[in-house]
């Protein structure tokens, strides 16, 4: 989700949902406010557009269906789940979720990643399991799968898709 006027520290930046492939936020308190503002905006959009027959938390709006990576990342971050991050060289620098596009349109994949030796692989079943109720609360179904090398991931799609 992109929100003008949030982020950047100067009030004129653009908020981007943390997908787990960016740098860690420099100011956690400021980031928390930005995430709350973005989530409030998302819920307002859902209220105004009717959200496919459910309450504002229950079903993604049409624009979310076109941008599932951003929408899923915002919901996870707003739900208190930490995103992974990468350093300037692109190396994983913290453990958390990573959201990427799924193979099918309108879907996203959530992985649990961390730096080498961080234990992310051992944590992934429990950590991804904690993502499921957060996603369900906001109208997303998440199914747990095992991928290559036995790593687990969630395939996420709108409820009822």
Q: What is the pLDDT of residues 93-152, one digit of tens each?
A: 999 999 999 999 999 999 999 999 999 999 999 999 999 999 999 999 999 999 988 999
Q: Could you tell me the sign of the dihedral formed by the alpha carbons of 62, 104, 71, 145, in that order?
A: positive
pLDDT value for 49: 81
Tens digit of each residue's pLDDT (9 = 90 or more) over 24-80: 888 889 999 999 999 999 999 888 887 555 566 678 988 899 999 999 999 999 999
pLDDT at residue 51 in the model: 52
Helix ranges (DSSP H) in 11-119: 28-49, 62-66, 68-78
């Amino acid at each position: 989700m992109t929100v003008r006027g949030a982020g950047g520290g100067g009030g004129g930046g653009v908020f981007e949902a943390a997908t787990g492939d960016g740098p860690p936020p420099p100011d956690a308190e400021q980031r928390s406010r930005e995430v709350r503002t973005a989530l409030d905006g998302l819920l307002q959009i859902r209220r105004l557009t009717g959200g496919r027959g459910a309450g504002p938390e229950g079903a993604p709006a049409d624009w979310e269906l076109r941008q599932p990576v951003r929408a899923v990342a915002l919901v996870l971050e707003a739900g208190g789940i930490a995103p992974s991050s990468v350093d300037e060289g692109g190396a994983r620098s913290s453990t958390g979720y990573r959201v990427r596009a799924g193979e099918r349109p309108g879907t996203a994949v959530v992985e649990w990643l961390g730096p080498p030796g961080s234990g992310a692989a051992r944590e992934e079943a429990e950590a991804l399991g904690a993502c499921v109720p957060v996603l369900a609360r906001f109208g997303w179904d998440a199914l747990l799968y095992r991928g290559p090398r036995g790593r687990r991931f969630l395939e996420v799609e709108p409820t009822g898709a």
